[in-house]
Amino acid sequence: MNYSRRNFLKAAGSGVALTALGGGSMLAAVASPAPGLPVPMTKEKAIFILNGKPLVAEYEARTTLWEVIAVKLGLTGTTRSCNRASCGACSVLIDGTPFYSCHTLAMEAAGKKIFTIEGLGDEKNLHPLQKVGYLYMAADCGFCTAGWSVTAKALLDKNQNPSEDEVRSALAGHICRCAAYPAIVRTVMDTGAVLRGEAEV
């Protein structure tokens, strides 16, 4: 007998199969999972109002909002980084409030207004946040950019003249691995000045 990890796994696998076969009909076992075993996920279908457009997606109960936005609906601007509700890269707005889309279930956002970085502006029509951010080089690698940009928009929608403390507090849930924090904070404050009509960009 060759004692190897591969043979051990093979033996363990046949043990499982024999246990299952020896316990009665396989068909009956599939139709009625033993208590405590996970039951198959059910599929849901819902409308997601993404940047003003109603889009239909099918998803399982466990599917996150990020998976619906980026994988199922193809809006890949929202970055998923830590995937554990720590960094803020995946932030989107739901009815105007920032949420980590990696830790929000799709079903929680179904039927609500979702705002992503694609809704902010594009190459031909940049939002002032993007123009000012470009001037101050507020994006280095860019991994955090989509997240803090939508959070900053939510702040500026409510308050076009935030103090530095208010900006730092609003963006507290965002980690920038490139440490571009001074440029990011200045971008949000100076964008406020543009939106108030006190500066041009």
- 88 makes contact with ligand FES (CB under 6 A): yes
| Residue 141 binding ligand FES, by CB under 6 A | yes
CB-wise, 119 or 133, nearer to ligand FES? 133
The DSSP string of 121-159 is -BTTB--HHHHHHHHTT--SS-TTHHHHHHHHHHHHHH-
Strands in 77-117 per DSSP E: 91-94, 97-100, 113-115
Amino acid (1-letter code) at residue 44: E
Q: For residues 75 and 119, what is the distance between their CA atoms, to the nearest angstrom?
A: 10
The reply on whether position 140 binds ligand FES by CB under 6 A is yes
Contact string (CB under 6 A) for ligand FES, positions 45-84, x = contact: -----------------------------------xxxx-
Count of residues touching ligand FES (by CB under 6 A): 22
**Smallest separation, CB 104 to ligand FES (Å):** 9
Given candidates 50, 65, 75, 102, which one binds ligand FES under the rule CB under 6 A? 102
d(CA 133, CA 79): 18
- Choices 16-24, 36-44, 125-133, 172-180 (CB under 6 A): range interacting with ligand FES: 172-180
Distance between CA atoms of residues 10 and 158, nearest Å: 61
In degrees and rounded to multiples of 5, residue 115 shows phi and psi of: -120, 125
17 versus 141: smaller Cβ distance to ligand FES: 141
- Residue 110 or 149: which CB sits closer to ligand FES? 149
Residue 139 CB neighbours (<10 A): 21
Does residue 110 belong to the site contacting ligand FES (CB under 6 A)? no
**Residue 153, interface with ligand FES (CB under 6 A)?**
no
Residue 176 found at the interface with ligand FES (CB under 6 A):
yes
How far apart CA 142 and CA 1 sit, in angstroms, is 55
Single-letter code of the amino acid located at 16? V
- Per CB under 6 A, residues contacting ligand FES are 80-83, 85-90, 100, 102, 139-144, 176-178, 180
